[in-house]
Amino acid sequence: MAKPTPFGINKLRTFKKPKHKASDFGGSEVLIKRCTKQIQPFRIATISWSLDDRDVLPAQDFLDTLSQINKQDQKLCDLIITAGRIVTGALNPKEILDKTGGAPVIFEMSLGKKAPWILVYFSSNKRASLKKLRFAQIVGMHNQKGKMAKLARVIAKRNGIVRFEGIGLSFVLFICGENNALNCNGKKSVIKYVPKMLGDHLMDVLGGNWIMLNPAHGPYRSKDRRTGFAKIGPYEHGRTPTLKRLVEQYRNYKDGTRSPLAVIHCNNFNKDKTITKKYASCAFGKNIKKYIKEGNKNGLQWKYVVYELTLNK
C-alpha cells in the first residue's frame, strides 16, 4: 500500500502512514493536449526503480532519471507514469517538463504530511502546471469491500482521470492494490461492491473507452498466487493473469460500465530478484508495441518501458 511521508528536502527516513480524513480521498480530472503530433500511435511510458532501505526518492534522483531517459529516447511520449516512490524535495514543474521534453508525468510526491499522486503538464496557456490527480490510495487488499465501494465513489466523482483533446479515451488511475477492486468474474460492474446510490455516475466515467493506469509500490517477489503475482504474470501451469483476462474478455457490465481497453502496470523492483525486474512493467491490450531502456546512476537502477498503443479515432 501507499506510504505517505513527511515533507523533507534533506531528511530521508521511513514513516508511518497517517490516518486519512474522508476529504483526503478526492482528486481531479485533467484535460490536456498531446505534446506529440496528433498522429498514432499513442506513446505511454513507465518508469520503475530499484528498491533500497528508503521509502522515498530524493528529487535530484528523480530529475536525474528523467534526464538520462530523455538522452536515450529522443522520441516524445504522450504520458509518463512512474512506480510508487514518493519524491521528496523541492521540485519545479517547468524543470520536470524540460527533462521529459514536455511529456506530462504522473508520480507520487511528498506534500506536507501527505503523498498525493501528481500530474505535471503544460496547461492550455503553455504554462507548466501541477495537479493533484488522487490524494491517497484507498484499497490495498482483495477483501476490503467497504473501501472498494469508497473507491467507486471517488472515481464516479471523476477523480484520478487524465484525458487528451481529440481522443475519446480516459486514463483512469488505480493506485497499487486498488487493482484488487477490478471485477473479472462478476457481471454487475467493472468495480466490485459498487454502491447503488451511484446511479449513472460511474458509467459516465467507465462506460466508454478507458485505460487503467496501475502504478504500484512493492514488487511481487515470486510466482506464488498469494503474493499477488497472479494479477500480472502467468501462474499455476500458465494460467492467464487476472488483469490480462480483464482486458481480453472486454465486455459491458449490467451497470453500463465496461472493461478497460488496456491495463498499464508499473512497479519497483529488487536488484537481486530477476523476476521483479522482468515484471516491473506490464501492459495488456491489443496491438501494443513495447520498447525497453535501462540505466543506473549512483547505485540507483531504473527501467523505462515505452508502449505504443494504436487508437481508433
Q: In terms of pTM, does the model score above 0.75?
A: yes
CB atoms within 10 A of CB 24: 16
**Looking at the DSSP assignment, which residues form a beta bridge with residue 191?**
182
Domains of the chain plus CATH, in order, are 40-309 (3.60.110)
Q: Grid cell 499522486 — which residue?
A: 117
pLDDT at 9: 27
Sheet architecture: strand order including 281-284: 29-32, 161-164, 170-173, 210-215, 262-266, 281-284
CA angle 21, 210, 240 (to 5 degrees): 95
pLDDT at 74: 66
Local confidence pLDDT in tens for the 313 residues of the chain? 443 333 222 233 333 444 444 455 678 999 999 887 767 789 999 999 999 867 789 999 999 999 999 888 767 899 999 999 999 999 999 999 999 999 999 999 998 888 999 999 999 888 999 999 999 999 998 889 999 999 999 999 999 999 999 888 999 999 999 999 999 988 999 999 999 888 789 999 999 999 999 999 989 877 776 778 889 988 767 788 999 999 999 899 999 999 999 999 999 999 888 889 999 999 999 889 999 999 998 889 999 999 999 876 4
| DSSP sequence for 130-178 | EEEEES-----STT-HHHHHHHHHHHHTT-SEEEETT---EEEE--GGG
Q: Which residues of 58-68 are buried (b: 16+ CB within 10 A; e: fewer)?
A: bbebbbbbbeb
Q: Which amino acid is at 137?
A: Q
